[in-house]
Amino acid sequence: MRLNRLFMGLAGFALLLTNACAGYNVVKQATPNPFVGKKAFAVAPIDFGDHTTGDDVKAEINKSFKEELADELGSDFQLVEPGANPEAFTVALKVYNLKEGQPMNLQMNPAVLGVDVMIMQGDQVLDQIKVEKIMNRPPASIGGIPMGGFTVSQRLGGLADDVAEDVGGYIEDRVAGP
């Protein structure tokens, strides 16, 4: 009897850890799954809303996200410009949290990139997830630049890479099906 409770407790804990490690929170998921076997996706420019940061930083975030998503999905997927393939689903990101952080004091003032990710067909949102990444300690280096000497573009571009890894994983899971 005691062993059963222990086993059930460990199984519940493992399930909790599995969900916690996903890196994203599902807000909405279309059923039945419209993505099974589909490999064409378009990436819309990121909507920064009212969040202010330099145009060069926005360009770096967009570039980093697109490049890392392409790497994450690999050559089995076709990433196109919006409108280039009418059958492609559109991946659209809207920033809800953006903080540039302070490079010498990331523990007290971290860099943050939080986005709502919508996978759409036309104007219809089929799936939506939330992803938020935080850099609260400096890495040993980013792009070969030593700790403490990296720019806002590099900090937020690195976070965009992390977001793309989670989005790519989510898309791969949905395309693979149940």
Q: What is the pLDDT of residue 69?
A: 96
Question: What is the pLDDT, as a whole number, of residue 29?
Answer: 97
Q: Which CATH architecture has domain 24-176?
A: 3-Layer(aba) Sandwich (3.40)
| Cis? peptide before 32, omega within 30° of 0 | yes
Average pLDDT over residues 26-35: 96
Q: What is the pTM of this model?
A: 0.80
| pLDDT reading at 54 higher than 50 | yes
Residue-level pLDDT at 6:
46
Q: Which residues, at least 6 apart from 60, have a Cβ–Cβ distance to it below 8 Å?
A: 153, 154, 156, 157, 160
User: Residues 3-24: what's their mean pLDDT?
Assistant: 50
Q: According to the model, what pLDDT value does residue 7 have?
A: 45
- Residues 50-61, mean pLDDT to the nearest whole number: 90
Task: Provide the pLDDT for residue 138.
Answer: 59
Q: Kindly indicate the confidence band of residue 17, based on its pLDDT and cuts at 50, 70 and 90.
A: very low
Residue 14: pLDDT over 90: no
Go through 114-126 and write b for each residue having 16 or more CB atoms within 10 A of its CB, e for each that does not: bbbbbbbbeeebb
Q: What are phi and psi of 126, to 5 degrees?
A: -90, -50
SS3 18: helix
What's phi and psi for 143, nearest 5 deg? 60, 30
Categorise residue 152: left if φ over 0, alpha if ψ from -120 to 50, beta otherwise. alpha
Mean pLDDT of 97-105: 77
